[in-house]
A and B are shown apart, each in its own frame.
Chain A
Amino acid sequence: MHLFWIDFGTGLATAAVVALAATGLTLQFGITNYINFAYGDFMGLGALLTFALNNQAFHLNFWIAAPIAAILVGVFAVIANQLLLAPFARRFSNPALTMIVTFGLSLFMANVATVIWTGNTLFFRMPISVDKKVGPFLWSPDVMIVMGFAVLVMVMIHLLLKTTRLGKMMRALSDNTSLALTSGIDVRQITNVTWFMSGLLAGLGGIALAVEEANLTVTSAESYLFVIFAAVILGGIGSVYGAMLGALAIGLLTETAPLYINAGYKLDVGFFIVIVLLLFRPQGLVPRLGRS
């Protein structure tokens, strides 16, 4: 029982990481209709740029380096879309073809990252944060900050989408692109904003992952990609609230799984869920109105 609650607590921390990343992935999917397979590399880039700013250049405090790095990933996402993905998406009527381009981008980013940051395990330059007992859970103060931050970000995304003009335009675009266009929405501009937010959230997710794991390598975020996919698909791909719920479910499942199966397989739980869902319920578990 005791072990279960500790794993449950770790599951909540993982859910925070997955929620940050999954909302970013699903927002972008909602408007482009193809999955970005370089998303794991976007996440990794956030953590690696934080490492660079915190440990290699400038030696910024971690809590200052992290938001700068996340913003840089957002900018990178906009540029990657403008220069690489959007031109292909305009050419191909089938979004699956652009998805293949994102595979290429992923390989490219992974290789460049390995050249720059090697395959070694890297550590942020920040005070060691010791696990504390909080009720039945065991969390370090840094992980609690990450969880609190993730909740804050989810609330902000909710407010953005439901109450602001920008958020409504993003939803309209995700609902029906050509109707959005003829209703007067500058589709290209909103698409860029969405890519920025997607990159920003990927970066934050990658950084949060490194904080939770207390270290990073150039591949650690990539290995989480299927966990993120699982959360997104579970919630109904393109649905932001679904992704939040999916993240919670997947976070708890992957972290409590080692109680029943070999811990080495915990990330494969995500992979397994993706396969089962795609076979039996590709539209996700959260009902959503048909997109057009």
Chain B
Amino acid sequence: MPTMVADNISSGYGKNLIIRNISLEVDAKKVTTIVGPNGAGKSTFAKTVVGLLKAQTGSIVVNGDDLTKVPAYKIPGRGLAYVPQVQNVFVSMTVQENLEIGGFVTKGNTHDRMEEILATFKDLEKARHKRAGFLSGGQQNMLAIARALMVNPSVIVLDEPTAGLSPAYTNVVWEEIGRIAESGTAVLVVEQNVERAIVHSDYVHVFVAGQNHVHGTKEEIAQLDLASIFLGRSEATKS
């Protein structure tokens, strides 16, 4: 059974529907990516899954647990963690405090979990008492991911975790994403760069104009002429 099943999701801002009838599954130990042109509704979908936007239709189920109507603040405690595309750290708080916040929803001692996470995120360990606003963009994204991991989630949703990062740091982040999946977590990543998405993920969804236009394994998606799909033409295989 997939770890997360989003079924027939439609949502948007106010009365405006941005995404329509999107269905998608995320499996444990797998990296699933969503690619698509600017404004395709990738972030809107991610925000709906984690309860920031209300789903007008459809359902979100994690580990058999229906989260569709669950308030956003209870979602991480139910196994679904989220890293937003922008403003994803508490800039006025230290690295350690950011991680503590991430661990508040789990009962009991989170100290061990924090040490475990800091042991894998070496850069953060060094900057432990620095305020997050003083970290580089890449370090901030790493901190945001580390914060989300504090709850030991079943599913983690990452919205463009490498946007604006240097190529070197982009690789570091993708390696980390790979490790997270290996550890048993189901990973859903929104990614702008199609080539990179295909290299690093197991399964790819292509969103165009608010719909899940085409999806498949990375090998299947690699066969498609994505450039014309992005421009709204129907899918054609690469010639």
Chain A residues in the interface with B (C-beta under 8 A) = 165, 168-169, 171-172, 174-176, 178-187, 288-292
Contact = CB atoms under 8 A, between A and B. Distances in A.
A90 B209 CA distance: 29
Nearest to A184: B105
A288 B92 contact: yes
Contacts of B131: 289
B76 interface: yes
Contacts of B88: 179
B184 to A, nearest CB: 21
Contact of B151 (A169, A176, A184, A187): A184
Contact of B87 (A165, A171, A172, A292): A292
A178 B52 contact: yes
A177 to B, nearest CB: 10
Interface in B58-110: 72-77, 82, 84, 87-93, 97, 100-102, 104-105
Contacts of B90: 171-172, 175-176, 179-180
A169 B104 contact: yes
A292 B91 contact: yes
B133 interface: yes
A183 to B, nearest CB: 5
A290 B101 contact: no
Nearest to A182: B82
B26 interface: no
B76 A291 contact: no
Interface of B: 50-52, 72-77, 82, 84, 87-93, 97, 100-102, 104-105, 131, 133-134, 147, 151
Nearest first, the 7 closest Cβ-Cβ pairs linking A and B are A184-B105, A289-B133, A292-B87, A184-B76, A175-B90, A182-B82, A181-B72
A165 B104 contact: yes
Contacts of B100: 168
A185 B104 contact: yes
Contacts of A179: 84, 87-90
Given A168-B101, A169-B104, A178-B84, A183 B93 contact: no
Query: Counting chain B CB atoms within 10 Å of each CB, which of A179, A182, A183, A289 scores highest?
Result: A183
A290 B133 CA distance: 8
B180 to A, nearest CB: 17
A237 B87 CA distance: 20
Contacts of B104: 165, 168-169, 183-185
Contact of A183 (B87, B102, B133): B102
Contact of A289 (B76, B87, B91): B91
Contacts of B75: 182, 184
Contacts of B133: 289-290
A291 B92 contact: yes
A183 B147 contact: yes
Nearest to B78: A184
Contacts of A180: 90, 101
A168 B93 contact: yes
11 contacts: A172-B93, A175-B91, A175-B92, A180-B90, A182-B50, A184-B73, A184-B76, A184-B105, A185-B104, A290-B133, A291-B91
Query: Counting chain B CB atoms within 10 Å of each CB, which of A175, A288, A291 scores highest?
Result: A175
A172 B73 CA distance: 13
B92 A184 contact: no
Contacts of A169: 101, 104
Given A171-B92, A175-B93, 18 more contacts: A168-B101, A172-B90, A172-B101, A175-B91, A178-B52, A180-B101, A182-B51, A182-B72, A182-B76, A182-B84, A183-B104, A183-B105, A183-B147, A184-B105, A289-B131, A290-B133, A291-B91, A292-B91
Nearest to A289: B133
A176 B151 CA distance: 19
Given A168-B100, A169-B104, A183 B91 contact: no
A71 to B, nearest CB: 27
B50 A184 contact: no
Contacts of B73: 181-182, 184-187
A291 B131 CA distance: 13
A186 B77 CA distance: 12
A169 B97 CA distance: 10
